Structure 1
Amino acid sequence: MDETTRNELEKLHGRINDMKERVVTLEAQQPHINAALLRIEGSVEKIAGKIGKAIWAIALIVLGPLAAILIKAIASGALKPFV
């Protein structure tokens, strides 16, 4: 082997070793990343549940009085039912 080929091979070996170190580091971090993702997913689910409850509460607050007004109008004879 000539000197140029030898130098290129040494560079490649160095890059491969660097990549091996990075892979080991990433593999070591993976459990921590997975745990963080699980916590995030749990938080998102809780927030989604609270938003859903808030939407239902707002709907009841808005639609409840409207339904009462409609029933009162029908009962008083001011509005005839669509039957």
Structure 2
Amino acid sequence: MQATDERRTLVHALNQPVNVIRLTIANMGTRLLPGLDGDDRSYLVDRLAVIEAQIEHYVAITEAFERGAAAAQPVADRES
């Protein structure tokens, strides 16, 4: 049981900076997208989506670790 609590604590600590990154990219999109048109808007939307997909992949890995699973199912990689 102690190993599970230690994993949970570690996963929580690992996810904290990722949560800040996730909030920051959401705020960037909200602030910057209204002022962009065309290619610039498409580019930013795509880049933010890539970052979000990588965050989701990271979270899946940490959650699998917390459960004691050997590995998480990979999220399909997008071209960066």
TM-score bucket (shorter structure)? 0.3 to 0.5
TM-score, normalised relative to structure 2: 0.40
Higher helix share: 1
Q: Which has the larger radius of gyration?
A: 1
TM-score, normalised relative to structure 1: 0.39
